[in-house]
Amino acid sequence: MSPMHYLLFYDYVADVLTKRDPLRPAHLDLARGFSADRKLKMAGAYTDPVDGAVFVFTSREAAEEFISRDPYVANGLVTAHRIREWNVVIGD
Protein backbone atom coordinates (compact mmCIF):
# COMPACT_ATOMS: atom_id res chain seq x y z
CA MET A 1 0.00 0.00 0.00
CA SER A 2 1.28 3.47 -0.86
CA PRO A 3 1.92 5.88 2.02
CA MET A 4 -0.56 8.65 2.72
CA HIS A 5 0.90 12.12 2.97
CA TYR A 6 -0.68 15.42 3.94
CA LEU A 7 0.00 18.52 1.90
CA LEU A 8 -0.13 21.83 3.70
CA PHE A 9 -0.59 24.79 1.38
CA TYR A 10 0.19 28.33 2.55
CA ASP A 11 -0.86 31.55 0.85
CA TYR A 12 1.40 34.49 1.75
CA VAL A 13 0.89 38.24 1.97
CA ALA A 14 2.01 40.08 -1.15
CA ASP A 15 5.19 41.49 0.44
CA VAL A 16 6.28 38.35 2.31
CA LEU A 17 9.92 38.67 1.25
CA THR A 18 10.28 41.97 3.08
CA LYS A 19 8.25 40.96 6.14
CA ARG A 20 9.63 37.48 6.79
CA ASP A 21 13.22 38.35 7.75
CA PRO A 22 12.77 38.65 11.55
CA LEU A 23 10.57 35.52 11.63
CA ARG A 24 12.47 33.33 9.16
CA PRO A 25 15.00 31.76 11.61
CA ALA A 26 12.21 30.57 13.94
CA HIS A 27 10.09 29.36 11.01
CA LEU A 28 13.01 27.35 9.57
CA ASP A 29 13.98 25.98 13.00
CA LEU A 30 10.42 24.74 13.45
CA ALA A 31 10.48 23.07 10.03
CA ARG A 32 13.88 21.49 10.71
CA GLY A 33 12.59 20.10 14.00
CA PHE A 34 9.59 18.51 12.30
CA SER A 35 11.92 17.10 9.65
CA ALA A 36 14.29 15.68 12.28
CA ASP A 37 11.29 14.03 13.97
CA ARG A 38 10.30 12.57 10.57
CA LYS A 39 6.97 14.37 10.60
CA LEU A 40 7.86 16.63 7.67
CA LYS A 41 9.14 15.04 4.45
CA MET A 42 9.87 18.21 2.45
CA ALA A 43 8.88 21.84 2.15
CA GLY A 44 9.47 24.90 0.03
CA ALA A 45 8.11 28.19 -1.20
CA TYR A 46 6.76 28.91 -4.65
CA THR A 47 8.95 31.06 -6.87
CA ASP A 48 8.15 33.82 -9.31
CA PRO A 49 6.11 35.07 -7.56
CA VAL A 50 6.79 34.01 -3.99
CA ASP A 51 3.16 33.90 -2.91
CA GLY A 52 2.89 30.61 -1.05
CA ALA A 53 4.49 27.36 0.02
CA VAL A 54 3.86 23.63 0.18
CA PHE A 55 4.80 21.24 2.99
CA VAL A 56 4.56 17.43 2.88
CA PHE A 57 3.72 15.94 6.27
CA THR A 58 3.34 12.32 7.37
CA SER A 59 0.12 13.00 9.32
CA ARG A 60 -2.69 15.53 9.51
CA GLU A 61 -1.91 16.02 13.20
CA ALA A 62 1.67 17.02 12.40
CA ALA A 63 0.48 19.56 9.82
CA GLU A 64 -2.03 21.02 12.28
CA GLU A 65 0.60 21.23 15.01
CA PHE A 66 2.99 22.98 12.62
CA ILE A 67 0.34 25.57 11.76
CA SER A 68 -0.35 26.20 15.44
CA ARG A 69 3.34 26.84 16.17
CA ASP A 70 4.50 28.62 13.02
CA PRO A 71 5.52 32.26 13.55
CA TYR A 72 4.55 33.04 9.94
CA VAL A 73 0.95 32.14 10.80
CA ALA A 74 0.98 33.83 14.21
CA ASN A 75 2.30 37.07 12.73
CA GLY A 76 -0.04 37.30 9.74
CA LEU A 77 2.32 36.38 6.89
CA VAL A 78 0.04 33.46 6.00
CA THR A 79 -3.29 34.71 4.68
CA ALA A 80 -4.81 31.24 4.22
CA HIS A 81 -3.85 27.61 4.62
CA ARG A 82 -5.35 24.25 3.80
CA ILE A 83 -4.45 20.61 4.31
CA ARG A 84 -5.10 18.00 1.63
CA GLU A 85 -4.62 14.23 1.82
CA TRP A 86 -2.25 13.00 -0.87
CA ASN A 87 -2.24 9.33 -1.79
CA VAL A 88 1.26 8.69 -3.14
CA VAL A 89 1.20 6.19 -6.00
CA ILE A 90 4.87 6.32 -7.06
CA GLY A 91 7.65 7.14 -4.61
CA ASP A 92 7.74 7.10 -0.87
Provide the domain count of the chain: 1
Give the per-residue pLDDT at 50.
Answer: 92
How much is the average pLDDT of 4-18? 96
Helices 24-36 and 60-69: crossing angle in degrees, nearest 10, is: 160
Q: Does residue 92 belong to any structural domain of this protein?
A: no
Does the pLDDT of residue 18 top 70, yes or no?
yes
Does the pLDDT of residue 22 top 90, yes or no?
yes
**Could you tell me the CATH number of the domain that includes residue 51?**
3.30.70.1060
Q: Does residue 9 belong to any structural domain of this protein?
A: yes
What's the burial of 90, exposed, middle or buried (CB within 10 Å: 0-12/13-18/19+)? exposed
Give the per-residue pLDDT at 1.
Answer: 56
pLDDT tens digit sequence for 37-89: 999 999 999 998 999 999 999 999 999 999 999 999 999 999 999 999 999 88
Q: Does residue 30 belong to any structural domain of this protein?
A: yes
